[in-house]
């Protein structure tokens, strides 16, 4: 079985964006705007139409069986609005993912976004995680390490601020993909420097603090191939050696996905990072949608790169399925997808 652990609902029907645009206009006019959750009017057929020509078509064409599916990452935009508007928006987005997974239970498994308002206690995120996992069968969450949207002026991931969320994740036995959202800082391009910088930053925060050792069961996926981490493996290993950080022990908690869009990048990832710590992912339909003229393949058809890599069959099995099942144990529970 081939499990793609990184897919977002980037093709939502128009009613979703319209609801969010109205909410954004309201908070722009009045930053203290609370509003109400209301409803997003989207028909099941619209959901089907939005997926069948896109994620589902590509899933089938490219030979993946199941996508672990979450709300569009760049739309989380935790820097927009306040704790009330973020809560309602997150709830709607997660309920939409639940509908997708109910419509296509063998194709998708649900992962949630969290409200994560800057400057506000993490409690509402803990509550939303619990609601999604226990009430709706979600199997993981996306955690934004920089809810400010590119200013990095909140507490780092090792800070006690985050601990109630890490504790709840351990209790529920769900992992997080550490994934930023849109940048509102013009110095950072959202799906380029912001995403890859955040991946590297999250890893560095975990390595330099060693805080994950306090949470035996805490599991993170660092997306986009781990940002700069695999390429600079020796730098991180060497710094850890100089400073007494637990470089090897961190691999009990961290996995890198395969959202790297060229063969040599994937080859480096697979060569450098232990195979037990790599999980298959494509992030389609996502940031890069074209075809590489040098190869004739879609850049984000990452299965081709794994297939063409020098991994043996047993190692490919780990990357395509077994590692992901270890990271997402709820995938095998009855409310998940078998």
Nearer to Zn ion, 199 or 283 (CB): 283
Q: How far is the CB of 114 from Zn ion (least distance, A)?
A: 15
- Residue 259 Cβ, how far from Zn ion at the closest point, in Å? 7
DSSP SS3 for 219: coil
DSSP secondary structure, 43-91, as one string: -HHHHHHHHHTTHHHHHHHHT--EEEEEE-GGGT-TTSS-HHHHHHHHH
C-alpha of 84 from chain center: 23
Helical axes 14-29 vs 83-103, angle rounded to 10°: 180
**Residue placing its CB nearer to Zn ion in the complex, 73 or 218:** 73
Q: Does residue 283 carry a catalytic annotation?
A: yes
d(C-alpha 86, C-alpha 181), whole Å:
13
- Please report how close the Cβ of residue 332 comes to Zn ion at its closest, in angstroms: 23
Nearest-CB residue for Zn ion: 73
CA pair distance 254, 264, nearest whole angstrom: 22
Structural Rg of the chain based on CA atoms: 19
As beta bridge partners, residue 279 has 257
Extract the tokens encoding 281. Answer: 């992912």
Under a CB-based contact definition with an 8 Å cutoff, are residues 226 and 203 in contact?
yes
Rounded to a whole number of angstroms, the minimum distance from the CB of residue 281 to Zn ion is 8
SS (H, E, C) 28-51: HHCCCCCCCCCCCCCCHHHHHHHH
Choosing from 5, 73, 285, 337, the residue that interacts with Zn ion (CB under 5 A) is 73
CA distances from 238 to 233, 234, 249, 312 (A): 8, 6, 15, 29
Q: Which stretch binds Zn ion (CB under 5 A): 71-79, 185-193, 196-204, 322-330?
A: 71-79
Total residues interacting with Zn ion, rule: CB under 5 A: 2
Report in angstroms how near the CB of residue 257 gets to Zn ion at its nearest.
Answer: 9
Q: Which of these ranges, 16-24, 53-61, 66-74, 80-88, lies near Zn ion under the rule CB under 5 A?
A: 66-74
Query: Would you say the C-alpha torsion 21, 56, 284, 78 has a positive or negative sign?
Result: positive
Q: What is the distance between the alpha carbons of residues 124 and 109, in angstroms, rounded to a whole number?
A: 23
Q: Shortest Cβ distance from residue 8 to Zn ion (Å)?
A: 5
In the complex with Zn ion, which residue's Cβ is closer, 287 or 311? 287
Nearer to Zn ion, 83 or 301 (CB): 301
Nearer to Zn ion, 10 or 323 (CB): 10
- Over the window 120 to 139, marking each residue x when it contacts Zn ion by CB under 5 A and - when it does not, the resulting string is --------------------
Smallest separation, CB 191 to Zn ion (Å): 8
- Looking at the Cβ atoms of 239 and 288, the one nearer to Zn ion is 288
Q: Which is nearer to Zn ion, 111 or 157 (CB)?
A: 111
Q: Which of 18, 52, 171, 283 is catalytic?
A: 283
Q: Does 77 bind Zn ion (CB under 5 A)?
A: no
Continuous segment of H or E residues that includes residue 112: strand 108-112
Q: Which of residues 273-292 bind Zn ion (CB under 5 A)?
A: 283
Would you give the binding string for Zn ion spanning residues 180-219, x where CB under 5 A is met?
----------------------------------------
Catalytic residues: 283
Site for Zn ion, rule CB under 5 A? 73, 283
């Amino acid at each position: 079985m081939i499990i793609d652990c990184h897919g977002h609902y980037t093709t939502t029907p128009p009613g979703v964006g319209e609801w969010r645009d109205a909410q954004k206009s309201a908070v722009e006019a009045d930053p203290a705007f609370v509003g109400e959750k209301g409803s997003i009017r989207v028909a099941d057929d619209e959901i089907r139409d939005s997926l069948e020509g896109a994620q589902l078509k590509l899933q089938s064409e490219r030979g993946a069986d199941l996508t672990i599916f979450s709300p569009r990452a760049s739309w989380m935009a935790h820097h927009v609005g306040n704790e009330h508007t973020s809560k309602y928006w997150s709830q709607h987005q997660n309920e939409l993912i639940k509908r997708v997974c109910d419509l296509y239970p063998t194709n998708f498994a649900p992962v949630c976004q969290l409200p994560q308002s800057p400057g506000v206690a993490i409690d509402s995120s803990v509550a939303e995680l619990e609601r999604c996992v226990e009430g709706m069968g979600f199997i993981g969450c996306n955690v934004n390490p920089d809810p400010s949207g590119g200013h990095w002026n909140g507490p780092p991931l090792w800070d006690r601020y985050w601990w109630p969320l890490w504790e709840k994740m351990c209790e529920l036995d769900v992992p997080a993909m550490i994934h930023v959202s849109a940048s509102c800082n013009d110095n950072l391009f959202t799906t380029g420097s912001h995403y890859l910088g955040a991946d590297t930053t999250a890893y560095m925060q975990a390595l330099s603090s060693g805080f994950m050792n306090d949470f035996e069961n805490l599991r993170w996926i660092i997306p986009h191939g781990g940002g700069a981490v695999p390429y600079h493996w020796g730098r991180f290993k060497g710094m850890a050696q100089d400073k007494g950080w637990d470089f090897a022990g961190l691999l009990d908690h961290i996995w890198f996905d395969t959202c790297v869009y060229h063969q040599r990048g994937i080859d480096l990832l697979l060569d450098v990072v232990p195979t037990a710590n790599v999980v298959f992912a494509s992030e389609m339909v996502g940031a890069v949608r074209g075809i590489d003229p040098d190869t004739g393949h879609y850049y984000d058809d990452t299965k081709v790169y794994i297939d063409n890599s020098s991994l043996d069959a047993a190692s490919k099995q780990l990357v395509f399925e077994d590692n992901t099942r270890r990271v997402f144990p709820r995938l095998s529970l009855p409310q998940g997808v078998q």
